[in-house]
Structure 1
Amino acid sequence: MKSPVEIRLHPVRPALDARPLKKRVGLIILATDHTTEPDFQRMVASENIGVYVARIPFANPVTPDNLRAMQPSLTEAAALILPGEELDAICYSCTSASVVIGDAEIEAAIQAAKPGVSVVTPPLAGVRGLKALGARRISVLTPYTVETSRPMADYFTGHGFDIASFTALGLDDDRDMARISPAALVELARGATSNDADALFISCTAVRAALAAIDIEKAIGRPLVSSNLASAWSCLRLCGDNTPRPEFGRLMTMPIARG
């Protein structure tokens, strides 16, 4: 029988960095989400910014009632992201649920677990992105049904935007929304953008619009703001990263606009 391997205990504790990465972004996403995590890994994560993810239960179809049902899970999800440690921002990555639940309610639920953290919701990030681009009259494209799209229209008009056109694709399963190809989104964006709109907003964190941002902007001749583009842009700016990233479209070259 072999004798046990001798394990030598190093006599000096190694020096520890304050953080493994300088900045930390929490991301709360739906259990069914295929898109947000890879988008944030591509657009936000770096050698200086870590992205840390928690998933919460969600049951399709995408209806106002099912969206609202996620609210009780937000505090627990936030608490599970690096417990006891501070984050620079937390994004709740669901546009339609943020509209239905309300930005203030989401912020309160997340800050119950992470006091004082900056909270990002996709619709409010979209508002700030559109303002940063100087847009006032907008076109909106959603993958949702008319029922789920109606609160979205009310949200943007409530924030002072004039809606030139609003197009809904009629889908009610977020997994199907994630399957719309980026190439198809370019053509859908072209058809959904009014000639007198200052910009196009594409809603839904499941939709892969960020992958097609440059092509969409070329096709429509004006800026694109999508849910994940706006959320990623907000998180980067909250982390103090103001590096222009024109490869992701015009929004990613802009400073953040508050209010």
Structure 2
Amino acid sequence: MSHTSAPARLGFLYPGHAAEDDYPLLGSMVEPPAQVTLVHTEFLEDAHTVEALSEMGSVSRLSKGAEALAGSAIESVMWTSTSASFVLGLDGIRQQIDTLEKLLRVPASTTAMAFARAVKAIDAGKVAIAATYPEDVAQRFREFLNHFDIEVVHLASRGIETAAEVSTLEKDEVINFALANTRNHADALLIPDTALHSVAWLTDLEKATGKPVLTANQVSFWEALRLCGKLTPQSGLGRLFESVP
């Protein structure tokens, strides 16, 4: 393996406290190990409602988070909330990305966009979704994916109201939730919520389901590496990381 490229320096804006420990874990699992700088952003309410998520992903919240990342020598930045990007639609996401790129002068993206790109990268035309969110929020994720001609053949919503509760789900619960929503006619299973721990279990999830599994923290990290041109094939992080187009 060549050690010519310097380790990636990645910035993440993460709302509140839930499964943010997935990011330093990912940083330690890739070769060469990546430098992770994570800033917690604030919000008015921890709730999976369109209103609360829109406030959480607002330009003012992201701008304040970006200020804390200024001068940290990061090479890319991610807004790591799936729902607090897709609920705002494509225009809202474009505004989030523009805000971060202007303030930090590095490539930026959001977890929702990372899902769309990751689905394309593994060539999955049809997907199943196991969402922890309430039904109305989960439906907006389907609508978001439709913009990219990604066909959702199955959508389950677990109806969990807060990120804090999602973060307490243990390995067995997550694997059982994935298994219950795996579909033979889907090319991949998507589990969209950055509040959900998943990184330590990616291999187990794919073994259990027999499918490529894309999780929010996994695709966010993949996108961060892709943005700064330091995405290389990795093992132990699911099929998404195995072959780099």
Q: Structure 2-normalised TM-score?
A: 0.88
Pairing 1:52-71 to 2, within 5 Å after superposition: 52-58=37-43, 59-70=45-56, 71=58
**Alignment counterpart, residue 108 of structure 2, candidates 98, 103, 119:** 119
The one-letter code of the counterpart of 2:81 is: C
The one-letter code of the counterpart of 2:55 is: A
**Structure 2: distance between partners of 1:245 and 1:176:** 31
**Structure 2: distance between partners of 1:48 and 1:180:** 27
The one-letter code of the counterpart of 1:79 is: E
Deviation (angstroms), 1:86: 4.7
Does the aligned pair in 1 maintain the 2:27–2:33 contact within 8 Å?
no
Does the aligned pair in 2 maintain the 1:75–1:111 contact within 8 Å?
no
**Structure 1: distance between partners of 2:159 and 2:195:** 14
Is residue 2:211 matched to residue 1:222?
Answer: yes
The one-letter code of the counterpart of 2:41 is: I
Is residue 2:22 matched to residue 1:39?
Answer: yes
The one-letter code of the counterpart of 2:78 is: C
CA shift digits 1:89-133 (9 cap, x unpaired): 101110000102332011122123113x11121111111111111
The one-letter code of the counterpart of 1:241 is: K
**Structure 2: distance between partners of 1:44 and 1:239:** 15
* Gap regions ≥5 residues in structure 2: 1-5
Residue 108 of structure 1: aligned partner: 98
SS at match of 1:112: helix
**Alignment counterpart, residue 81 of structure 2, candidates 87, 90, 94:** 94
Is residue 2:192 matched to residue 1:206?
Answer: no
For the aligned residue pairs, the C-alpha RMSD in angstroms reads 1.8
CA shift digits 1:158-184 (9 cap, x unpaired): 211111100000001101001111221
Residue 13 of structure 1: aligned partner: none
CA shift digits 1:46-70 (9 cap, x unpaired): 7763211221112122211111112
**Structure 1: distance between partners of 2:120 and 2:7:** 29
Q: Which stretch shifts more, 197-206 or 127-136?
A: 127-136
Is residue 2:76 matched to residue 1:76?
Answer: no
Tell me which structure has the larger Cα radius of gyration: 1
Does the aligned pair in 2 maintain the 1:44–1:236 contact within 8 Å?
no
* Gap regions ≥5 residues in structure 1: 1-20
Deviation (angstroms), 1:28: 0.5
CA shift digits 1:142-165 (9 cap, x unpaired): 100012112111001121111110
Aligned length: 232
SS at match of 2:69: coil
Deviation (angstroms), 1:22: 5.3
**Structure 2: distance between partners of 1:188 and 1:95:** 18
SS at match of 1:166: strand
Identity %: 23
Q: Structure 1-normalised TM-score?
A: 0.83
The one-letter code of the counterpart of 1:35 is: A
The one-letter code of the counterpart of 2:39 is: A
